[in-house]
Structure 1
Amino acid sequence: MTSPVQPDRRITKQHPFKITFVCLGNICRSPTAEGVFQHLVNERDLQAYFLVDSAGTSAYHIGEPANSRSREVAEDHGIKLHSRASRFERRDLDEYDLIIAMDKENRVNIRALDHQGKAASKIRLLREFDPIPEDGEVPDPYYGGMEGFENVFRIVKRSCETLLDQLEPHVDKTDHDTGSHQQSDSVAARKSG
């Protein structure tokens, strides 16, 4: 594992921490990570403090649901994947507090949008948070069998657990606003079409 995540502010209900997971097509790895991380956030009753999203670096599958094999594996573990594929865009560099790439190529593609390098510190690889990393990337299971999807789920789950463990101490639970947060306008617009 590399250095822990250090948010530059307290995480509050009024200013939830915005995180997006990014892979190539946004139909296998990143929606799995989005679903797993959201599930962990919900289990810890932190849903008011986090906005969780996912996107792809390509436009191959925009609007499509997660791959049926990803959904099946997630459902076997009690998690539903609800997102629809969207494309990571330059404006997302400013929109999110943390941008998590599934592999090095995804990270290169994200960094290519960051012409001035202002977002460099918030672009990370998911496997940086894996307590038992075999390598630095979450493998793309798309062309393989179900075991590949199971493997991705295991990697994603333990990595997301570590990531949330690092972020949770920065949550300010003295924040008493009882209203739920909404997706930002740009995120909501991208997800709706």
Structure 2
Amino acid sequence: MAERSHKSVLVVCLGNICRSPIAEAVFRKRVADQNVSGDWRMDRVATSTYEVGNPPDYGGQSCMRKHGIPMSHTARQVTKEDFATFDYILCVDESNLRDLNRKSNQVKNCQAKIKVLGSYDPHKQLIIEDPYYGNDSDFELVYQQCLRCCRAFLEKA
């Protein structure tokens, strides 16, 4: 585990197979490109148990391959420990924000700043829409939005 002096970010969506894996992969690539990977601890989780144990959605994997960004993980649900060990918990929409705030109230030592990732979007698109039932262009839209948000977040963090 990274030293506490490092910054840490946890990206959250409903199932942890579409939006949060894309956002985390984009974030990981941005910090690598800036040579600050050693300064960051990153992960991605779900608020639900729907997809626990599953790999990222094929549409997201395809989109990331197109952009040359590696992505592989197994979906997991957010834990109480996450609230105590991450500096930032960034979710993709208001429903996840409500779930996270409710869960964080059950954690005595919650250290995390919980926000919507889209709050960093310079285009002011707060919600990152779920591409699960969509097509390649929907995944591309999520990718572009995550790219903007992660870039802006890193500039402010």
Same fold (TM over 0.5): yes
Aligned-pair CA distance for 1:97: 0.4
Aligned-pair CA distance for 1:15: 2.3
Cα root mean square deviation, aligned: 1.9
Q: Deviations over 1:1-49 (max 9, x none)?
A: xxxxxxxxxxx96621111000000000000011000000000000110
Amino acid paired to 2:48: S
Distance 1:121 1:87, change over 3 A: closer
Q: Deviations over 1:118-165 (max 9, x none)?
A: 74870010111100023x210001011111101000000011011111
Distance 1:109 1:14, change over 3 A: closer
Distance 1:148 1:106, change over 3 A: same
Report if the CA contact (8 A) 1:23-1:102 is conserved. Answer: yes
Q: Determine which of 142, 147, 155 is the counterpart of 1:152.
A: 142
Aligned to 2:123: 132
Range 98-107 or range 57-66, more displaced: 57-66
Report if the CA contact (8 A) 2:84-2:111 is conserved. Answer: no
Aligned-pair CA distance for 1:107: 0.6
Amino acid paired to 1:140: D
Aligned-pair CA distance for 1:91: 2.1
SS at match of 2:90: strand
Gaps of 5+ in 1: 1-11, 168-193
Query: What is the alpha-carbon distance in structure 2 between the residues aligned to residue 97 and residue 14 of structure 1?
Result: 9
Query: What is the alpha-carbon distance in structure 1 between the residues aligned to residue 61 and residue 98 of structure 2?
Result: 27
Please say if 1:96 is aligned against 2:86: yes
In the superposition, the TM-score normalised over structure 1's length comes to: 0.75
SS at match of 1:45: coil
Q: Pick the structure with greater CA Rg.
A: 1
Aligned-pair CA distance for 1:84: 1.4
In the superposition, the TM-score normalised over structure 2's length comes to: 0.92
Q: Determine which of 62, 83, 89 is the counterpart of 2:52.
A: 62
Aligned to 1:111: 101
Query: What is the alpha-carbon distance in structure 2 between the residues aligned to residue 121 and residue 114 of structure 1?
Result: 9
How many positions carry a matched residue from both structures? 155
Query: What is the alpha-carbon distance in structure 2 between the residues aligned to residue 45 and residue 38 of structure 1?
Result: 11
Query: What is the alpha-carbon distance in structure 2 between the residues aligned to residue 137 and residue 144 of structure 1?
Result: 16
Query: What is the alpha-carbon distance in structure 2 between the residues aligned to residue 148 and residue 24 of structure 1?
Result: 17
Report if the CA contact (8 A) 2:87-2:112 is conserved. Answer: no
Aligned-pair CA distance for 1:114: 1.8
Amino acid paired to 2:146: V
